[in-house]
Structure 1
């Protein structure tokens, strides 16, 4: 059976779920579902469900089953994984896939068990868990097989993970239960405080992507968005600039910098000298924010750089890790 079944890597993220085999990324969908409230029947998944966000009647609930990188709603997560695995493997259950699925560093045994059981119930033949920083490091070919230090910061939608790795294992790490969604929330709060206008999370995300930055920029861009006046309740346009978005993001970005500092303080001095030479690898969707590499370079005193495949390195590393299972198995989270 093993000859015919696939080995799949899954990056189960708060914002996006990605599935890959050894050749390519097979699927990328928002981790979001739409459900009929009365009979708990799934109406839509992924991009289709995301398009419904904030636009559906009370009879339909649009929900994210993961919060801060861990499963918040087990049944919805299981249904989502089942649907996505069927899409990449077909409905035939004779040759069920082996799955390597990523989890944040430091998750509890209960959280680990929830992920393991969800992916097994969804139709896997065998399942392994791998910490997201370790999967990302394998996905970008960091030399973690040696006793020298490698540092990586993964800026995800629900959590930010910082880790120092050597000899196929994590030496020091920290998981901050805050990420891209918290950056969006900071923009929402800033616009409400400064202009008395309420905007949605999707609008804040567009502001962050189109004109946002972590540090002041030479070129000042602007963007007009529609919001709801807090006093009148009527629609009101507001124009924001890059400088305002930079100001709005300072508080959550401080937390990310602090998380990096905490990990460096816990890292043995011999490994810190390796990291200074090699730099800090940045991945995850949050790493695409303009100037975040400059912010971390200045704040940590170590060069930070964006990797070539920041969005897909975790899922690619998860599937690659099957080829080195005999050496990394001892460092994988146990269920």
Structure 2
């Protein structure tokens, strides 16, 4: 892998870019701020996310990816160009090879959109790799050995569950329920229980501050202050939300994730299932940071859960490292 080659985790919530020898060089929200009157791109990444829910009518902060795939091609292209451009020296004319992590099971149309966006953004070649495979490579699992490894990647837009052996995904499931749906569940809970309207950034903060999915006294004692708009008066109002309430709010989307894991295990060949019982289920992605989710998965499946040190960067690291694995690289779709 040459110096300028990139691994990209083009996520619904965040985009990460990995450069070999440098590591993760970009980790910013997948958000773009646009002037709706002129079409001009104003801000990308963290600065654009700060505008979510706070922009005047002439400015719109948008997330160009939904459920892990491109929902707005032009905006996604502008975002990719911006991030790839930040990794290239101003005097460099070399176009990098790029490996982009994608959800399993996306359609050919969705694959083509991501491939073309990568090329249009300045890549010389674009390869796509399934996110669970990229995650496994990113945490240095020996994916080319005849052993079964289960990866559960809980991202912003999708949850990917995959059993990997001999460099391939043997059994998998992909559901479009993940961090975004958890945020929406919190929004709906607070609306129904407190008649209070909050935005997605506030819901995300609540999830990070006190979000939990397993009954523990320490989780029940968590609390945070939330400010929203009272649906009756239309005026701002503050409330205190506790950990037990957020656990209740999150059980819908989390139950769907647990069912996806169980379904994948039920379809796993016995020999590989034995390996998984011995090695454990590996959780990655931002959703794996949710308090108690490892304990809940262990309780529901009877299999230990292995938490990795840096679950947010696995896909980007693995995408970059995949260029060193010739056998796997041959299987990745390539466009010149």
C-alpha distance in 1 between matches for 2:257 and 2:35: 37
CA shift, 1:305, in A, is: 2.0
Paired positions, count: 332
- 1:111, distance to aligned residue in structure 2 (A): 0.4
Give 2:260's aligned residue. Answer: 259
What is the CA distance between 1:142 and its match in structure 2? 1.5
Residue in 1 aligned with 2:54?
Answer: 55
Q: 1:203-230 deviations in whole A, cap 9, x for unaligned?
A: 1111111111111222211111111111
Stretches of 4+ aligned residues off by more than 6 angstroms: none
* TM score, norm. by length of structure 2: 0.96
Contact residue 96 and residue 123 of structure 2 kept, 8 A: yes
1:329 and 2:325 matched: no
Q: CA deviation at 1:90?
A: 2.9
Unpaired segments ≥5 residues, structure 1: none
Q: State the secondary structure of the residue aligned to 1:20.
A: strand
Question: 1:333 Cα deviation (Å)?
Answer: 4.2
Give the match for residue 299 of structure 2: 298
Paired residues of 2:323 and 2:329 also in contact (CA < 8 A): no
**Correspondences of 1:160-239 after superposition (within 5 Å):** 160-219=159-218, 220-239=221-240
Show CA shifts across 1:250-308 (max 9, x none).
Answer: 01000000111111122111100100000000000010011000011111121112111
In structure 2, how many angstroms separate the alpha carbons of the residues matched to 1:334 and 1:125? 11
**TM-score, normalised with respect to structure 1:** 0.96
- Tell me by how many angstroms 1:115 deviates: 0.4
Deviations 1:65-119 (A, max 9, x none): 0000000011111111111111111344621111111111111111000000001
Mapped pair 1:274 → 2:272: no
Query: 2:130 corresponds to which residue?
Result: 131
Contact 2:150 2:161 in 1 (8 A): yes
CA contact (8 A) 1:135 1:321 kept: yes
TM-aligned CA deviation for residue 332 of structure 1: 2.4
Q: Cα distance, 1:146 vs. partner?
A: 1.0
